[in-house]
Amino acid sequence: MLKLFPIVAFASSAMAATLTPPPKPQPPAQVATRFVADTEGNTARYRIRERLVGKELDNDAIGETSIVSGAIALDKSGKIIPTESGFTVDLASLKSDQDRRDGFVRRRLLVTDTFPSTRFQVTEVKGLPSKLPTSGTQEFQLIGNLTVKGVTRPTIWNVKATVAGNKLTGSAATKFTFADFQLTQPKVPVLLSVVDTIALEYDFAMTRQTK
């Protein structure tokens, strides 16, 4: 009998493991607050420091688009619900003060025929109180994954937002290098230099959805 004890013990343990029910799947987080981007009042832009031939001073190359969609969803504890939080920007509609630059950005830098949009998937918020105020200005950070030209990288956005009832307005900004997203710095005859930093800015206007 003593020789059989290890086998019996092993069999008993295996049976107990078999009878142990698997953990129950957690229910999806319930949305307590959702802000949705308005159809008007949203502008996304890039800003790159450059120097053109024949110019004595550096200049900011700025391209903008108003075709932005997205939403922010929070649970009752103030945490982001990633599956329902994010923003999409139409890149093919970016417009600067120079048609030549716009053509270069669309055809060679961002290849918008293949990658027509960029997506920021929000995964976390820092610095925002769990109970959102109904008025006033808040500064906080949105953390998530930004996808540009098929490359996805973690990104932090610094946000300044003003709440007025069901309206949320403000601005968000982040920076990264060309290499971060495997982009090639422009080299064209009219361009003397380009700083290796791209700033992205988003002026937003959102409305709280009511049930």
pLDDT at 25: 57
Cβ atoms of 74 and 127 within 8 Å: the answer is: no
Could you tell me how many residues make up the chain?
211
The pLDDT confidence band at residue 211, using thresholds 50, 70 and 90, is: low
Q: Is the pLDDT of residue 50 over 80?
A: no
Residues 3-10, mean pLDDT to the nearest whole number? 47
| CA-based torsion, 158, 163, 168, 170: positive or negative | negative
Q: Which amino acid makes up residue 141?
A: Q
DSSP sequence for 25-89: PPPPPPPSEEEEE-SSS-EEEEEEEEEETT-SS-EEEEEEE--EEEEEEE-TTS-B-GGG-EEEE
Confidence of residue 30 (pLDDT cuts 50, 70, 90): confident
pLDDT at 192 (0 to 100): 45
- If you average pLDDT over residues 156-166, what whole number do you get? 96
**Which two structure tokens, joined as six digits, stand for 158?**
């610094």
The residue that leads in pLDDT, 195 or 120, is 120
Nearest CA to 91 out of 121, 112, 61 is that of 112
Most confident residue range from 21-25, 32-36, 154-158: 154-158
Q: What is the mean pLDDT of residues 37-61?
A: 80
User: Read out DSSP for 141-154?
Assistant: EEEEEEEETTEEEE
Query: Phi and psi of 55, rounded to 5°?
Result: -110, 135
- Residue with more model confidence, 56 or 134: 134
Listed by start position, the domains of the chain span 31-208
Class of CATH domain 31-208: mainly beta
Tell me the sheet residues that pair with 191: 52
Region 59-87 average pLDDT? 94
Q: Please tell me the least confidently modeled range out of 4-13, 153-162, 178-187.
A: 4-13
